[in-house]
Amino acid sequence: MGLRSLLVAVAGVALAGASAYATREYLAPGTATAAPERGPDLVSLVVAGADIPLGQPIVPQVLSTIPWPREAFPPGAFRNPENLLPAQGEQPRRATYNIAKGDILLASKVSGFGDKVTIVQALGPNLRAMAIKVGAETAVGGFVTPGDTVDIVLTQGREADLSAVTILQNIRVLGVDQDADVKRDQPEVARTVTVEVTPAQGQILALAQQAGTLRLSLRALDEAKDTELRAVKLGDLLEAPEPVAAAPTEAPKVNRIKVRRANEVEVVELN
């Protein structure tokens, strides 16, 4: 009986020691394994791998992809470059805006397959494109480029009746001659400038071109507010006073007498 009791006691002590050791190892700092943090759910996003000018076809060489969080995916963007490329025998999509390298390719910035792309795609809602005949002296020496905003000044009349008035303000330039590239920064003397106007502004512009000479005034990049301006006449600049009529002068009074000599009569003035 004594031996059996001793063996049971030894086994109980060993079991208790093993349990205590296991509990200590489990609770010891640094031994617990933290669950790995889950990263954001990423998907592919198609961006421009190179600059794509307005009207240029979308080809594989100008496309690239980057990872992007699924929950922040931009509306109208593309995940697969294949969705932007034509099938065999199909005409390509084209850029309807100037797209810079790294820009996200959006459905609003590309045409349908085979669609024609012109300056029309750059027009805002209910706006029109209208051309103005210009020269070096009327288009800021050629420094007006696509994407600039200008005021349009009408000069008309002759000599003293010559006048100038700003007929339109804050007008966006769409193109210079046949160039609509907003990244062009080289001055060039043009013959026509195409501007974006409302239908009502287009009527004003059409009449003004027949009434006199139009000149463009280049606006600052951050200037959006119009300024109250009135017509100016040449006389306002010269500020010439009205001519004053000279007072009539009286002729000095002269005393005259008649002198008769024989049969002749002579008039003599007396000073």
Mean pLDDT by 10 residues, the chain (271 residues): 56 58 53 55 94 88 94 94 92 88 92 82 83 71 79 85 88 77 57 89 92 87 74 72 62 66 67 59
Structure token digits, residue 47 = 């961006």
Do residues 90 and 133 share a domain?
no
For 249, phi then psi, to 5°, come to -100, 140
pLDDT of amino acid 244: 62
Task: For 196-234, give one letter per residue: b (16+ CB within 10 A) or e.
Answer: bbeeebbeebeebbeebbbbbeebeeeeeeeeeeeeeee
Same domain, 232 and 138: yes
- Cα distance between residue 195 and residue 217, in whole Å: 13
**Do you know the residue count of the chain?**
271
To which residue do tokens 């600049």 refer? 237
Shared domain check, 223 and 170: yes
Main-chain phi, psi angles of 218, to 5 degrees: -75, 130
Residues 89, 141, single domain; the answer is no
- Examine residue 251 and state whether it is found in any structural domain, yes or no: no
In the chain, which ranges are E strands? 42-48, 63-69, 128-133, 149-156, 163-176, 192-197, 213-218, 232-233, 255-261, 264-270
Bridge partners (DSSP) listed for residue 228: none
Task: Check residue 216 and give its pLDDT.
Answer: 87
**What is the total count of domains within the chain?**
2
Q: Is 231 part of a structural domain of the chain?
A: yes
Measured distance CA(221)–CA(223) in Å, rounded: 6
Per the structure, the complete domain to which residue 184 belongs is given by 123-238
- Please say which residue of 96, 117, 138 terminates a domain: 117
Q: Is residue 17, in this structure, part of any structural domain at all?
A: no
- Whether 255 contacts 262, CB under 8 Å: no
Question: Do 137 and 204 reside in the same domain of the chain?
Answer: yes
Biggest CA-to-CA distance, the chain: 203
Torsion from C-alpha of 255, 260, 264, 266, nearest 10 degrees: -10
For residue 151, the SS3 value is strand
Among the candidates 117, 142, 160, a domain finishes at 117
Residues 229 and 131 in one domain: yes
Question: Are 203 and 224 part of one and the same domain?
Answer: yes
Same domain, yes or no, for 112 and 134?
A: no
Task: Report if pTM > 0.75.
Answer: no
- Same structural domain, 156 and 228: yes
Residues 6+ apart with CB under 8 A from 130: 194, 195, 197, 202, 205, 206
- Give me the pLDDT at residue 32, please: 45
**CATH, residue 55:** 3.90.1210.10
